[in-house]
């Protein structure tokens, strides 16, 4: 991603401070950011957001990020990134099996996220 690239990014995270930090960081990089705190909220809001990128926590209060990716109604392919405190190889494999391109282990460095976002293309 060049410095001039800007994406519409949808972040799903139930932890208030983490959500606030991610939104701020991504906006500072020049992206337009939409947020949800639950699976249900994300399923409702994502389709109208026209986002190219989804960053979702796996552990949500009303389900999980794996289920979320399967339930999203998106007219186009989305570049999906999972983030979780679950670090087992099986968790990462499950994320990939449902369509996530990456599985970030929390806490992660911003440089890791920035490098992953460099892979996004329209």
* Residue ranges per structural domain of the chain: 8-117
- Taking only the tens place, the pLDDT of each residue in 2-26 is 445 899 999 999 999 999 999 999 9
d(CA 119, CA 105): 18
Greater pLDDT, 70 or 3: 70
For domain 8-117, the CATH class is alpha beta
Do 25 and 110 touch, CB atoms closer than 8 A?
yes
Report the percent of the chain where pLDDT is more than 90.
79
Do 34 and 9 touch, CB atoms closer than 8 A?
yes
């Amino acid at each position: 991603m060049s410095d001039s690239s800007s994406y519409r990014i949808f972040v799903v995270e139930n932890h208030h401070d983490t959500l606030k930090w991610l939104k701020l960081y991504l906006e500072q990089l020049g992206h337009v950011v939409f947020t949800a705190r639950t699976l249900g909220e994300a399923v409702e809001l994502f389709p109208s957001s026209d986002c190219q990128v989804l960053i979702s926590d796996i552990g949500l209060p009303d389900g999980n990020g794996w289920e979320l990716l399967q339930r999203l109604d998106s007219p186009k392919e989305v570049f999906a990134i999972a983030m979780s405190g679950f670090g087992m190889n099986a968790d990462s494999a499950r994320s990939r099996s449902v369509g996530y391109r990456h599985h970030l282990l929390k806490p992660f460095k911003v440089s890791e996220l920035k490098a992953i976002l460099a892979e996004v293309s329209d």
